[in-house]
Structure 1
Amino acid sequence: MKSPEEDLLTDLGRLYGSLKRNFDRSMVERGASLARTKMLILIQKEGGTVRAIDIAERFGIAPRTVTEALDGLEREGLILRTPDPSDRRAKRISITPEGEAAVAVTEPIRQALSKRILVSLGPEEQASFHATIRKLLRCIDED
């Protein structure tokens, strides 16, 4: 028999997986991509200071996977890679006006999906759930 802690972590994993699948499916149905949107938003927020390795670390994915995704974004004209002045082997990534336009189209879709899911929790429940998640993240970060 599982402990309450194991049940909680199992359900948390199921929640994450279900959310990701739901977002992916819903965005694809609308002609968008959650992975692409998340990557463009990160690049947009970092304002040209982010490198591929930073993206890989942030999303917990292999650097090669990030490179392939960035290659596609660059081919589509959504990002620009420029030499990193402090490391000649690295490239800094910035979003282009076309990338900004792509985010402007897809981000409202992602936000609407988020609201649709979170509406089942009242404002106090959302705040409590968020505080709990942040507490768990701090615990993990301390390890």
Structure 2
Amino acid sequence: MKSTFEVSDKLFELYHRVHRLINESMTEEGVSLARSKFLFFLSKLGPCRSTDIAGALNFAPRTVTEAIDGLERDKLVVRKPDPEDRRAKIVSITEVGRVVLEAAEHPRKQLIEEIFSALDDEQLDQMHEIVSRLVVRTDEIRRRKQEGAGNGASR
């Protein structure tokens, strides 16, 4: 029987290998996995402030600003003044950004299908159940830690 650490290490190894392979394939199509996260977010939710992006993607504001600078330079997004706050800018995906995102999504989906084709339907269902349980447990632990930090901060 494998230890929890052996299984955990194998899971992290899988994640990193899949991430690297997908990033390489998407980059060949014109947008890295990291940049595609920004484009995907803007594509789904529409124009928004960079602070909204930072909060949603859990990135530092400076990281988001630098990423948007690069995306804007490549004409994948555009910044316009926020009509409600003259200090802020609204970021939108451009048509070029949509085309690049769509082109990069194809190899990502194709690779995921190819990787997971190693499992039959029953194994996929089992893996989904196992990973779902781990997600729930992770959320429980995070919530417990946040509640504990909140209690300690009030002392």
TM-score (normalizing by structure 2): 0.73
Q: Which runs of 5+ in 1 are unaligned?
A: none
Q: Which residue is 2:102 aligned to?
A: 104
The answer to whether the 8 Å contact 2:26/2:105 transfers is: no
Change (3 A) 1:42 1:123: farther
- CA shift at 1:127, angstroms? 2.6
Q: How does 1:1-143 map to 2 (within 5 A)?
A: 4-49=3-48, 51-83=49-81, 90-142=88-140, 143=142
Which is worse superposed, 105-114 or 33-42? 33-42
Q: 1:66 deviation in Å?
A: 2.1
Total equivalences in the alignment: 140
CA separation of 1:102/1:29 partners in 2, compared to 1, >3 Å: closer, same or farther?
Answer: closer
Q: Which amino acid aligns with 2:129?
A: A
What CA RMSD, in Å, does the superposition of the two structures yield over aligned residues?
Answer: 2.6
C-alpha distance in 2 between matches for 1:8 and 1:76: 41
Displacement after TM superposition at 1:132 (Å): 2.2
Q: Distance in 1 between matches of 2:83 and 2:137?
A: 35
Using the alignment, how far apart are the partners of 1:46 and 1:69 within structure 2? 18
The one-letter code matched in structure 1 to 2:73 is R
Q: Is the 2:54–2:64 Cα contact (8 Å) retained in structure 1?
A: yes
- State percent identity of aligned pairs: 41
Following superposition, the deviation at residue 139 of structure 1 comes to 2.1
Does structure 1 conserve the Cα–Cα contact (< 8 Å) formed by 2:54 and 2:61? yes
The DSSP-based 3-state class of the residue aligned with 2:101 is helix
2-structure distance, mates of 1:91, 1:29: 30
Alpha-carbon separation, structure 2, partners of 1:16 and 1:56: 23
Letter in 1 for 2:44: K
User: Which runs of 5 or more residues in structure 2 are unaligned?
Assistant: 143-155
Q: Give the whole-Å Cα distance in 1 for the aligned partners of 2:116 and 2:84.
A: 42
